[in-house]
Amino acid sequence: MTLTSLFVFAAALFVAAGSPGPSIAALVARVLSKGYRDVLPFVAAMWFGEAIWLSFAVAGLAAIAESFQPLFLVIKWIGVAYLLYLAWKMWTAETAVSDDALPESRSAVKMFLTGLTLTLGNPKIMMFYVALLPSIIDLGGVTLAGWAELVVAMLLVLMVVDLLWVLLAAKARQFLKSPKAVGLANRVSAGTMAGAAAVIAAR
């Protein structure tokens, strides 16, 4: 891969990943409601899922992905159902807080599987790698080393974008001290999560 090609790919991915979508909405809502301490498995799964889509595109499996459309449809609806479940949990969560309160812990495996399901079933991410990427890079000429360079570039971009979203959400959460503010944040987060589910379901 030339530096120019990597730069064009990174720039396009930065724009696509930086624009709020279902995955970002779910990530921000999670941090706002429960804090950032246990969110890393979720974020790592988002990166892993995008690496899978990138690998599909580079390997020329875009056409094959079309053949497995029913499988990805199942993944999509599993993601929608789980987002709605999380939205309900946030809406009904307790609002009492204390200065030494810690975010509710979650299984790292469950967080990872949730992030992976959302990423693999996210139409926005699918379209970027399956439809848009071939118009940015000549995938037919990508070697194994070129694939590795694309993966590294992808990870760097996603780390910057996603961790910035986490930081912004964590900073916003610091202002939520009263039960009333926490209740409002929970409902906003629940609405955001439900909205993300609706966006995925509608595509």
Question: Is 175 buried (19+), middle (13-18) or exposed (0-12) by CB count in 10 A?
Answer: exposed
pLDDT at 133: 79
pLDDT at 156: 95
Bigger pLDDT: 56 or 135? 56
Cα atoms found within 13 Å of the Cα of residue 117, Cβ hemisphere only: 19
Is the pLDDT at 76 greater than 50? The verdict is: yes
Closest of 1, 5, 2 to residue 136, by C-alpha:
5
Residue written as tokens 């690998």? Answer: 55
Whether the full predicted model's pTM is greater than 0.75, yes or no, is no
Q: How far is CA 36 from CA 32, 48, 112, 152, in A?
A: 8, 19, 14, 24
pLDDT at 84: 74
pLDDT at 134: 75
Is the pLDDT at 181 greater than 60? The verdict is: no
Once rounded to an integer, what is the mean pLDDT over residues 160-178?
Answer: 77
Q: What is the pLDDT of residues 84-128, one digit of tens each?
A: 776 676 677 655 443 333 334 467 888 888 888 888 877 778 777
Once rounded to an integer, what is the mean pLDDT over residues 69-79?
Answer: 66
Spatial distance between the Cα atoms of 157 and 151, rounded to a whole number of angstroms: 10
